[in-house]
Structure 1
Amino acid sequence: MPAGYLGNNLPDSLLLLPPPPAENSAGFSHDQAVHDAAQALKGTARYTLATADANLHLPHATTAFECALGVPITQADTPRLYQLMQRVMVDAGLGTYTAKNHYKRIRPFVHYNEHTCLAADEAALRGDGSYPSGHTSLGWAWSLVLTDLSPERANALLARGRAFGESRLVCNAHWQSDVLEGRTIGAGVVAQLQSNPTFQADMQAARKEIAAQRTSGKSPGVDCAAEAKALAIKIPGVL
């Protein structure tokens, strides 16, 4: 995994975000209601997609946005785009940690003594603060970057970025307030990337790769029909 672009110039999530909802508050009651609605989706196509979205190992992770972008995102097909997404992943994830480490919010699967989509991740998640959601920060940052690269596909890309974060609700790994504020940090990371010359050079190279893939007619390497079916299943009560 290469280093991120921003180094120590990351957004300060503790400064940018309000505290998470306190227990017995209206905000936490809403978090609990969304948790219950999301857990009712176990066994559905949406749960299967959420399980796939939970896996941030490469080269799998970048494929989540292939259908929305309309071309493959792989080291072989689009190497500069692939590397750009790796580096943004680092920045978007690290940008959540001043708040995560300060609040040390308990995740819903721990609160309810339940499980997540990926049992192998649970030991690490128990010791990692829930607020804000790093997966959501990452997914939203990716969707914003890809929209800049391919504005004609903005609606599909932004919708996929939103769904990528909401998959954490289905996976029982985050509360909805974690997801909502994860988007704030993802947007903050992308805003700070705009003045980074290395990032901008990689964006120019990535645009050329995407155009070349479109010209070649190469299709995404994932099942886009199955993804669309899963994304049509909505979580009741989500803001």
Structure 2
Amino acid sequence: MTRVSHPGWRVSWAVLVYAALCAGCTRHQAFRHAAVAAEIRPPAVVGYLPFRTLPDSRALVPPPPAEGSEALALDLEYSRRSLALRDSPAWTLAISDAYLMFPHAAGTFSCALNAPITEADTPHLYLLLRRSLIDAGLSTYAARNYYQRPRPFLSNKAPICTPAEQGRLEESGSYPSAHSAIGMAWALILAELSPERTPEILARGQAFGLSRVVCNAHWYSDVIQGRNIASATVAKLHASPAFLSDFRAAKAELAAVRRKDRKPLRACRSEAAAVALQRSLAQ
């Protein structure tokens, strides 16, 4: 697995932040205004859910762990243990998982699915992941903007896995984790598309969130509550006719790829080793 360093990551997440803050705009207006940046190629994709119908994360998650609580002690312990994984395969995976731009992000679950996901072979599935990313990511912002929880690297002063993003992360709330919400939303959708691979898919979704702890960009409780927001988002997506249409088409595409016996394009053994290292955080 190779290290990943992509300047476009900042632009993609900036679009999400802009839309989250533009509460008075319609969902499409927010993205249209944000997409005028010349760096965005191709134009930003919008989610399935109208902005006003996104899950209210402030109502769905409890406040961040309080000083002196057992939950905060667990956060601190996970953070301390994660520092030992710097420059390990888990650190390399965290760098890769941090990068949400496509086509790179489309391959996140290819090993778990035992099938590639590409715009050429699975265009509806590719679009399904892109659009649901936006819904899950934006669903975290009501709570994030309200609590403005400082990130772990501000406390432990240790490096993060994406140093070019440190300035931006210092200014954004940590709780709940948007990356974790996105990863688990993808996992829930893909497990429904490919139920025979459910254990592998859900494990990868959990690992995607834990990559943020390894990266030193999020606390463990940020990740857990991100998963909860993912569940609420996917439930709402099932009421979207556009989502359901793409879901049905994606299921057919995935079946066709399997009939052709196409294999993942990623280094699955390296990924499995990295995920195993992540599990050491809980031991």
User: TM bucket by the smaller chain?
Assistant: over 0.9
Q: 1: CA distance between counterparts of 2:88 and 2:106? A: 23
2:117 matched residue in structure 1: 73
- Which one-letter code corresponds to 1:224 in the other structure? C
1:4 matched residue in structure 2: 47
- Whether 1:29 aligns to 2:29 is no
- Structure 2 runs not aligned, ≥5 long: 1-43
Q: Identity percentage over the alignment?
A: 47
- Which one-letter code corresponds to 1:57 in the other structure? M
| CA-atom RMSD in angstroms | 1.3
1:217 matched residue in structure 2: 261
Deviates more, 1:130-139 or 1:16-25: 16-25
Q: 2: CA distance between counterparts of 1:114 and 1:228? A: 26
- Whether 1:103 aligns to 2:166 is no
Q: State the SS of the aligned residue for 2:131.
A: helix
Deviation at 1:26, TM superposition (A): 2.3
Higher normalized contact order (CA 8 Å, seq sep 6+, divided by chain length): 1
- Which one-letter code corresponds to 2:173 in the other structure? G
Q: State the SS of the aligned residue for 2:53.
A: coil
- Whether 1:116 aligns to 2:123 is no
Q: Is the 8 A contact 1:47 1:171 kept in 2?
A: yes
- Whether 1:62 aligns to 2:141 is no
- Whether 1:142 aligns to 2:211 is no
Q: Is the 8 A contact 2:82 2:281 kept in 1?
A: no
- Alignment TM-score, normalising by the size of structure 2: 0.82
Q: Is the 8 A contact 1:54 1:168 kept in 2?
A: yes
Q: 2: CA distance between counterparts of 1:61 and 1:23? A: 36
Q: 2: CA distance between counterparts of 1:148 and 1:117? A: 31
Q: State the SS of the aligned residue for 2:278.
A: coil
Count, aligned residues: 239
- Structure 1 runs not aligned, ≥5 long: none
Deviation at 1:193, TM superposition (A): 0.8
Q: Is the 8 A contact 1:34 1:235 kept in 2?
A: no
Q: Deviations over 1:67-120 (max 9, x none)?
A: 001111121221110001000000000000000000000000112222210111
Q: State the SS of the aligned residue for 2:85.
A: coil
Q: 1: CA distance between counterparts of 2:60 and 2:274? A: 33
Q: Deviations over 1:114-149 (max 9, x none)?
A: 221011111111111000000000000000000010
Q: Deviations over 1:5-57 (max 9, x none)?
A: 11121110000110001233222121111100111111211111111111112
- Which one-letter code corresponds to 1:90 in the other structure? I
Q: Is the 8 A contact 1:66 1:72 kept in 2?
A: yes
1:132 matched residue in structure 2: 176
Q: Deviations over 1:130-171 (max 9, x none)?
A: 000000000000000000100010000000000000010000
Q: Is the 8 A contact 2:115 2:262 kept in 1?
A: yes
Task: Flag as ranges the 4+ runs of structure 1 deviating above 4 A.
Answer: none
Q: State the SS of the aligned residue for 1:73.
A: coil
2:240 matched residue in structure 1: 196
Q: 2: CA distance between counterparts of 1:127 and 1:135? A: 16
What is the aligned counterpart of 1:45 among 89, 102, 109? Answer: 89
Q: 2: CA distance between counterparts of 1:14 and 1:177? A: 15
Q: 2: CA distance between counterparts of 1:131 and 1:138? A: 14
- Alignment TM-score, normalising by the size of structure 1: 0.97
